[in-house]
Structure formats: C-alpha cells, structure tokens
Structure 1
C-alpha cells in the first residue's frame, strides 16, 4: 500500500513537471482565424448609410511573445466590431471598432494559401489582415456587406545579431553564457537546448550585440529531422553566423557515425545550403570549442591544415561532405568557454566583423567602389573557399 502511494505521488510530480514544460514552451508558430466586422444596414427611407465594419490589424510590439496571444485568446479567433445600422436619429451609422492584435517583432504573416502578407521586423510595423464590410447605402441596396475572414499563420523568426550554429553538445549554451548575461540550461548531453536562448553582449561604450543560441542541428535537419526547419528558419534574420564546433568531434548516439571537427564544419555547411542557399553567403565566424581537452592544440593545427588543403583541392572532399557553395569564414578562433579563454577576443572580433560587413553594404548601396580592409586579427585568419 505504501509502495502504491509512493508510485502515485511520483506520477503526479512527473505529470506536474510535464504540464509546466508545456505551459512554458517557446512558441514560434501560431495559426489564428480573423474576421472583420460586417457593415451596418442603411435606411432607405431617409437615404441613411450604415456604419463600416471594423478592420483587423496585426501590429509588431516589443516584449510580446506568441505565447501571450495564445494565452490571452485561447480559441485563437479574432473578430472586429460590426458597423451600426442607420437610424432615424442617426442617419450615418457608427463604424465598427477596429481590432489590433499585438504580435512579436520578427513575425511573418502568412495566408492560408501560403502567401506572405507581411514581415513585421520593427516595433510599430502593422498590416491589415481583414477589411471591414462596407455599410449599407444606395450603391448596395442599403444592405451592409460582410467583413473579410481568413485563417493565418503567424511565423516567428528571431531577430538577433549573431546566430550560433552547431551540432548538439558542441558547447553553444556554455559559449552564450560566457559571451553574455544569459543563463541557458547547460548539461553534458545532447539536446540540452530545446528552445531558443537569447543573450546580449554589452561593450564598454554601451554598444549591445544580441546572440541567439538555437537547438542543435542533426544531419538531415534540412529535411526537418530533429528540430529541422523549426531551428533553421531563425538563422534567416541574423547578421552573422557563428559555427560552434567541438575540437574533439561529434557523435549523436553510440550507433551514429563519429564526425571529426572537419567533417562537422562541412556537414553544417551542407545543412544550411540545402535548407536555404542564401545562408551560405552570410558573414560567418568559426569558433572551435573545448580547447582545454587532451591534444586540443595538436588537433587544431591539423584542422587548419586540412581546411587549407580542401580550400585548394575541393574536388578531393568525400561526396557526402561536398556542397555547391561554401561559407566563407572571416575568422577562426579557438576558445574554451568554461575557462573564458579567448572570450574577450571573440567578443571583439564579432563586433569588428559585423561592422565591417555593414560598411561594405553601405558602400555598395551608395555606389562606391572603394576597397575596405577587414580589421587585422591577432589570430591567423582562415577563409573557407
């Protein structure tokens, strides 16, 4: 009897923990239904006009999450106010009340047919998603018209300056904690990060650069394996990709093939290319982690040699590692996040590289052809292809 009671209590605790996880789960996609208000009826005898139905808008707001929308409107149905009928004492009916749905910055609004209606990338951006019906009048036999109605998908892509790219357990969460003030969950097993974590690097001159630690990729992520598209889509709006690679290599589980640091780099490149080719032309930085492990320095020197060799002879790459386009790293930096080795240097290089590429884009936009020199680095730089 005591054992049964203990078992039931354990099951209750587990159920409570699961419900808390579900409740606090990060949401980056939400399907909703919107309906604009119908127009009011006109008054034929006096030529009265019915009020126009209310419109439905979606507006980007700072510090709003999709979870807020789901919690506040659990049925995910939104309806604007209806226009008032024309009356003897009010010939022009009052218009229906508009409805504005607050949404996160970085939201893409997609119609039920898959058409992108708007990208809401900054605070205050708004889009009309359902227009209210016209009020009744002479042009429509004084009958108020129905408002527009449609189902929408709200798809969130995080906006961060830097996106960390790597296989599970590469040390991304540890690195995020070292670089910024974030406190991600850290453990020595794959898939510790199952929701995005955001951190902010603060510099002495008060400059801020945001960093996103996203769930680890696995081979086949472009086909939606693992976190798949749920992860990869968040890289689209980042300004700099930072590959985070364990110098000791990677193995997802005992029966999975072991991947060296070199293979990891090329496989990550492959996953990005197969998902969205544009990702391979983004500014990028390579951080080699866990440099405090045995023979790490020797492995690092070998890795640089191998990268330079395959840069010169890409046809020598095994077929499973080949890509049409390769990321060009502006720098490669060996680090140990747990001991803060090279972390300050990495922070500075992130800033320099972001500013360098912003300067290039500005020059191209202005039609200038002046040559801009990338800031000198204390470490030897590696350019991949």
Structure 2
C-alpha cells in the first residue's frame, strides 16, 4: 500500500511540473548556433560556403509557451556551409534557420548583453552568425559559427495595465469588464501569472486589459514578483491603479497601510523601477466601497486626493515618491457588487484610450507630444472626477 502511494505521489509531482512548464511564460532560455563555414580548396583557390545564420521573426498571437512546445530541445542550429570542390569552386552557403517568436520580446545573451528587440510582426533579428568559409586568410579552413545561450524576455502588450497590491480587486474587475476568467479568492497573490481580458463594446470596439501579479513593498528591488511584474507595465498605454479603501497588510510582519499610503507606495514603486512610467496616462480606482464604513473612510481622504502632491510631503521617505502620478480620473467603485460601477470604468477608460489613439494617428506627428502635454495639463487643472 505504501509502495502504491509513493508511485501515485510521484505521478502527481510529474503532472504538477508538467503543468508549470506548459503554463504562461514570460522568459525562455534557448541555445543558438550559427553553421560552420565550409572548407576551401587551396589547389584551385576555392572558397568554402558561409555557415547559415540563426534568425528570429516576430509573430503576433503566439507566446513563448508556443515557442517552447515547437522545439522542446530548446536548441536552434543553422546548416553548415558546403566545402569547395572541383564542381563548386565557391561552396554553397549553409541554409539559415529561422523561427518565430512573439512580438514584444527582448533578447539577451546569458551574460546580459542585449541583442535586440522584436516589436512588429515580420521584424527579423540575427541571433547567431554563421562561420566564414575557408579562404586564404584562414588557411582554407571554415570557421565555427557563433554559439551561445540566449534569453527571450517578454513584456506583455496591453492597452491597460492593472496595478495594485495583492487582494485589491484587480482580478475581480478584469472578470467583470471582460470575458477573462482569472482565479479569484479572498487572500493575497491569487494572481501569479498575467491574465489578459478583452473589453468589448456594442460598436465592436475592443480594448485589452492585463491583470498582473500584485506588487509588494520593495518590488522595484525585485522583491516578490518584482521585475517580473513591473516589466509588463512598460508596454501598456494606460495605468489603472486599484486600491482597497480599507488599506492593505501583506502579513503580520508588515505594517498596515491605509488607502492613501497604498496609493503613495504604488506610485513610489513605479517611480523607483522606471520614472518614465509616471509619464503614462493613469487613473485611480478606489475599490471595495461596499464594505463596512467604506464611505466614511473615503470622506476622510477625499480632500487629500485632490491635493495628493502636497499631502505626500507629509509622509516619510520610505513612502513618499519624488513625483506623483497625475490621475485623469479618480473613481470610487465596488467591482464585485455594482454593475453600474463596472460600466462607468469601461466608459472612462475607453474615452481616454480613444483620445490617445487619435493623438497617435495625428498627421502632425511633431505636435503629438505638445498636444498630449496640454491635454494632461488641462486634466490636471480641471482636477480628477471624484465620484
């Protein structure tokens, strides 16, 4: 009986590991090798063929998991060049090896050298160059191609990125506004992998929203999900910060943070990771307004939210960001209980995304930056829409 139990547990462990391998991937390590150059023919001055190259091609609607499944050996080797001969004084070159990767990846060597990025479908990038064919300079002996491990680092592409501490209600909101089915529970870190949902509108407009793993204090220094979360924020158009009106406490070992403190901390984490993120358009959602005494707690911080840059100066350095986000909207919602709140969020994010699209498609490209800054200033002067 004990023997059978051990066998069963072993099978379950294998299934568990298999599941993890087949799940979402935002990083993948593979080995690439350019082909070896063909040998030359000294007697006739023949030149060997150049070794083939390893090249990646950008492709929409595929994932790094797909790349892994297509070649589980995780090795791509190009063909070697042909030797020079009596019939072929110039040896034919080796065939290139090409494979597809998702748009949005950055490729590094194992030592951290950046080889490049793939940002558009059909875009190509040379990863490993084939060796030179045999010629007088190398004694007519073909040389080996470049060979090393490379790492694909994927930054998720979505219109909207949900930013918040664990259990703030990000997954609940994503489920409410889209057809995504993220795991939801009343404990931190339910989301351990990014979920992307599509918000559909009656006129067939679609906007993508990414629910990313919750931050913790020190995420900028790679604590918790750290950089695995924050890197995805870089490729979103709009930051949607969501906080619990009751504040947040990760565990008894951590201090309880009020709603206002969580807003400042989220701002600070983004700033410390990449201050350019503060230039992105952003909205703030204060969630769980259906809970006890929520309205009273909101009334206590309402005035502070209208002047958050000044209020931030009263907090210690470990909480206070140097620069604060300029929220175009601040909405109080109950993502779980009120459908009208969900509809309000859908309409507000669409208006802002549509304005951004218009600016991006403007014929006067040189003026986009000025127009966008004027738009931000106007929104700032008008003040956020406090519901």
| TM-score normalised over the length of structure 1 | 0.89
- Residue 44 (structure 2) aligns with: 46
**CA deviation vs aligned residue, 1:25-62 (integer Å, no higher than 9, x gap):** 32212222211011111223333332211011111212
Which residue number corresponds to residue 366 of structure 2?
A: 366
1:170 maps to 2:168: yes
Q: Secondary structure at the match of 1:38?
A: coil
Choose which of 285, 288, 293 in structure 1 pairs with 2:286. 288
SS in structure 2 opposite 1:319? coil
Quote the Cα distance in structure 2 between the aligned partners of 1:321 and 1:6.
Answer: 54
User: Which whole-Å CA distance do the structure 1 matches of 2:367 and 2:254 have between them?
Assistant: 50
Instruction: Please tell me whether the aligned partners of residues 169 and 242 of structure 2 are also in contact (alpha carbons under 8 angstroms).
Output: yes
The alpha-carbon deviation at position 161 of structure 1 amounts to 0.8
Write the deviation string for residues 334-371 of structure 1: whole angstroms up to 9, x where unpaired.
22222323212211211211233444565883337669
Deviation at 1:8, TM superposition (A): 4.9
- Flag the 1:22–1:87 CA change in 2: closer, same or farther, 3 A: same
1:225 — aligned with what? 223
Q: Structure 1 133/296 Cα, relative in aligned 2: closer, same or farther at 3 Å?
A: same
CA RMSD in angstroms, aligned pairs only: 2.8
Where does residue 355 of structure 1 map in the other structure?
354
Return the alpha-carbon distance in structure 1 between the equivalents of residues 159 and 35 of structure 2: 40
Q: Which residue of 2 aligns with 1:106?
A: 104
* 275-284 vs 38-47, which moves further: 38-47
The residue that corresponds to 2:269 in the other structure is 271
Q: How does 1:146-165 map to 2 (within 5 A)?
A: 146-165=144-163
What do residues 54-79 of structure 1 show as CA deviations (whole Å, max 9, x unaligned)? 01111121232222333443343321
Going from structure 1 to structure 2, the CA distance change for 1:290 and 1:13 (only over 3 Å counts) comes to: farther
Normalised to the residue count of structure 2, the TM-score between the two structures is 0.89
Shift of 1:330: 0.7
Question: 5+ unaligned residues in a row in structure 1: which ranges?
Answer: none
Classify 1:77/1:255 alpha carbon distance in 2 versus 1 (closer, same or farther; 3 Å): same
Q: Which runs of 5+ in 2 are unaligned?
A: none
Give the whole-Å Cα distance in 1 for the aligned partners of 2:271 and 2:363.
27
Partner Cα separation in structure 2 for residue 200 and residue 381 of structure 1? 29
CA separation of 1:10 and 1:151: change in aligned 2, threshold 3 A:
closer
For 2:284 and 2:336, the matched residues in 1 are separated by: 18
Show the counterpart of 1:77: 75
Equivalent residues of 1:283, 1:357 under 8 A apart:
no
Alignment size in residue pairs: 380
How much does 1:140 deviate?
4.1
Contact 2:40 2:141 in 1 (8 A): yes
Maintained 8 Å contact 1:310/1:316: no
Match of 2:244 in 1: 246
For residues 363 and 295 of structure 1, the distance between their equivalents in structure 2, rounded to whole angstroms, comes to 50
- Displacement of 1:139 in angstroms is 5.0
Q: In structure 1, the residue corresponding to 2:242 is in which secondary structure? A: strand
The residue number in structure 2 matching 1:213 is: 211
> 1:11 and 1:144 mapped to 2: Cα distance?
52
Would you say the 8 A contact 1:363–1:370 is kept in 2? no
Deviation of 1:210 (Å): 0.8
Q: Cα gap change, 1:313/1:19 in structure 2, threshold over 3 Å: closer, same or farther?
A: closer
Q: Which moved more, 1:363-372 or 1:218-227?
A: 363-372
